Amino acid sequence: MAHKLLDIAGVKYVYDSYPLKRVSKANTDVGVLNKWLQFQCGAIKIMNSRHFTRVDYSVGASVRYGNNVVLCNTDNVSLRGMYLKTDHQIPLDVPVHVTVYSSSQSSLKFNAKVVRKEADGVGLQINNLNVHSFVQLRDIVTEHCNDQGKVMQETYKMLKCIY
């Protein structure tokens, strides 16, 4: 992984990843730097820490958790997660079952966890999905992405989530 340079008030830090695990300055409180980065960078750190290609994709979806069913729309998807647009307040860290209505003849279904909440929706991390749904999801990402080789590499990373 390439090293990155962080300059805070003229003090330069070299780091590998976010959240920071190791920095170049001795006696540096990594926890304090992580909080500073999170405060300063906001959504930028989220986009930079993604390991899967995310593509814009807007179709209808439903989320089931507990006794609730929420109708919403996808905003963007990857092989590992998606962002759903909804006004409904779905709690963080709650397991959900999602159905994405990719066409009138087919839908993909998977289990996920809510990992991010925003005013206009929620971010989900996919925990597991069946082979049919995975193939559909991979086809959606591939269709909207210019780098099929990268999507294939990401496919290998997702094998543990497929049942």
The CATH number that applies at residue 59 is 2.40.10.220
Which tokens belong to 131? 């082979």
Q: What are phi and psi of 58, to 5 degrees?
A: -120, 105
Beta bridge partners of 64: 69, 97
Q: What pLDDT is recorded for position 32?
A: 55
Write the pLDDT tens digit of every residue in 51-105.
Answer: 788 899 999 999 999 999 999 999 999 999 999 999 999 999 999 999 999 887 8
Rg of the Cα trace of the chain? Answer: 18
Q: Are 154 and 79 in contact (CB under 8 A)?
A: yes
Instruction: Looking at the structure, tell me whether residues 42 and 100 fall in a common domain.
Output: no
Instruction: Looking at the structure, tell me whether residues 61 and 43 fall in a common domain.
Output: no
Q: Which of 102, 86, 95 is nearest to 140 (CA)?
A: 102
Instruction: Looking at the structure, tell me whether residues 103 and 148 fall in a common domain.
Output: yes
Instruction: Looking at the structure, tell me whether residues 153 and 85 fall in a common domain.
Output: yes
Instruction: Looking at the structure, tell me whether residues 68 and 146 fall in a common domain.
Output: yes
Domain that holds residue 151: 55-161
Give just the sign of the alpha carbon dihedral 2, 3, 8, 10: negative
Q: What pLDDT is recorded for position 41?
A: 43
Give 46's pLDDT tier (boundaries 50, 70, 90): very low
Instruction: Looking at the structure, tell me whether residues 82 and 150 fall in a common domain.
Output: yes
Instruction: Looking at the structure, tell me whether residues 82 and 155 fall in a common domain.
Output: yes
Instruction: Looking at the structure, tell me whether residues 59 and 136 fall in a common domain.
Output: yes
Instruction: Looking at the structure, tell me whether residues 69 and 131 fall in a common domain.
Output: yes
Tokens 């963007």, residue?
Answer: 76
Instruction: Looking at the structure, tell me whether residues 69 and 145 fall in a common domain.
Output: yes
> Rounded to an integer, what distance in angstroms lies between the CA atom of residue 95 and that of residue 83?
15
